[in-house]
Structure 1
Amino acid sequence: MTKIKICGMRRVNDILYVNTYHPDYAGFILSEGFKRTVDIDTFYDLELLLNKEIKRVGVFVNEPIENILKSFAHKLDVIQLHGEENAEYIDKLRKNCDCEIWKAVRVKYADDIAKADALPVHKLLIDSFSAGSYGGTGKRVDLDIFSQVNISKPFFLAGGLNEENICYAMEKVQPYGVDFSSSVETNGFKDENKIKRIVETIRNNTERRI
């Protein structure tokens, strides 16, 4: 069964939507300075409301390790790294917390995936490259690039996925999971109907393939 992650939780309504349609993961942007960033108090409040069966993913961009460990790691199931974090940084995180560690890679070339796959992380999140942005742009990944690289780790596919193209993308690259943010929003905020439709589309497609 393909796993589903909805990223960019910011409001109580967002939590109510995911509690209703039950994706496998809910993501919170916890580094400062991004459109969907939530502060620590908001994160704590929202996390308390989230169904305990939905895994909590904290998204960080070049965040000091001490900040993650002190303020967030005890509330998270997954730490997703979206910056230039290297093997040394990842090793230190792994030694000091029990969270799964994921590395996001913004892909221009197959070699970008290969380099990330060599890092000591549990899973990858493969996103489209957009200059000046660390993700959440809605730009589609070039799916043909996956035929040029052997990926050893389970990976999530992100970037420009929506109700119209998700089934084709899943069948073409066979990801462990799929990740959505801007494509389940309207006017910059999570849209309940879009979340409902995308979750139903994926689960119906997966059931047909079993």
Structure 2
Amino acid sequence: MKRWPVAGEGPLIKICGITTPALAEAAVAAGADMIGVVHFKPSPRHLTVDAAAEIAQTVRGRAFVVALTVDADDATIDALLAHVRPDALQLHGKETPERVAALAARSGLPVAKAIGVAAAGDLALADRYDALLVIDAKPPKGADRPGGHGQPFDWTLLDALDPSRPFMLSGGLDPASVGRAVRLVRPYAVDVSSGVESGGVKDPAKMAAFVSAVHSAAAAEGITA
């Protein structure tokens, strides 16, 4: 079974919602360790299976490719596995611990499970999942899709998380905020999407600035993930 990449100096960097091969190349050139492709129609970053496969092929072997889905059925997962051939799955829906375990077994891939956090009690879900946690902000009330929608949450809530458990931090990160996040919560990885966009499209300059901010914060604090 594949495993998540081993972090080196500081947290790994995932840039999610990549929509074209050119932007995938730009993300890798900026220094991203992982890229995410989204297969979920309500998302503005949704890709068809074929489009996601093209992006994955562009960076295969140079970045860890993560396929993000929301409450996908087995047929959808099988199509992603067969055509995209991702290195990992990231689940952002209401997937139960049993469903997450079943998809890990079905795919033979490492799986990440997103948990929306707005209050300390939301972290109670963490112990139920045998997966890499993606700690994200809860979506705004009435939102038609999961995720933090570019908004951060109170990172001090993560003090309640088992310090030995690695996690990926998401929600409201951008080049200006990620350095503080790295210093404060010391995640295994950081996951960014809208925070490196201009006009809803990934911006190569912002991606490079994000990566630089992560590396600078880790180096200044002597942080190893």
Bin for the TM-score computed over the shorter chain: over 0.9
Letter in 1 for 2:32: P
Give how far 1:148 is off.
Answer: 3.3
**1:91/1:114 Cα in 2 relative to 1: closer, same or farther (>3 Å)?**
same
- Could you tell me how far apart the structure 1 residues matched to 2:148 and 2:124 are? 22
Aligned residue number for residue 67 of structure 1: 76
Indicate yes or no: 2:155 matched with 1:107: no
SS in structure 2 opposite 1:115?
Answer: helix
Counterpart check, 1:10 vs 2:10: no
Matched, 1:142 2:162: no
Aligned length: 208
Q: What's 1:162 paired with?
A: 174
Same amino acid, percent of matched pairs = 27
Q: Once the 2 structures are TM-superposed, how far is the Cα of residue 136 of structure 1 from its aligned partner?
A: 5.3
TM-score, L = length of structure 2: 0.87
| Residue correspondence of structure 1 range 1-150 to structure 2 within 5 A | 1-68=10-77, 70-74=78-82, 75-121=85-131, 123-130=132-139, 131=141, 132=143, 133-135=145-147, 137-150=149-162
TM-score, length basis structure 1: 0.92
Residues 103 and 116 in structure 1, CA contact (< 8 A), matched pair in contact too:
no
Gaps of 5+ in 1: none
Runs of 4+ that moved beyond 2 A: 147-153, 207-210
Cross-structure match for 1:195 = 207
Which residue does 1:207 correspond to in 2? 219
Structure 1 equivalent of residue 6 of structure 2? none
Cα root mean square deviation, aligned:
1.6
What is the CA distance between 1:13 and its match in structure 2? 2.3
Report which structure shows greater RCO (CA 8 Å, sep ≥6).
2
Q: Distance in 2 between matches of 1:77 and 1:136?
A: 24
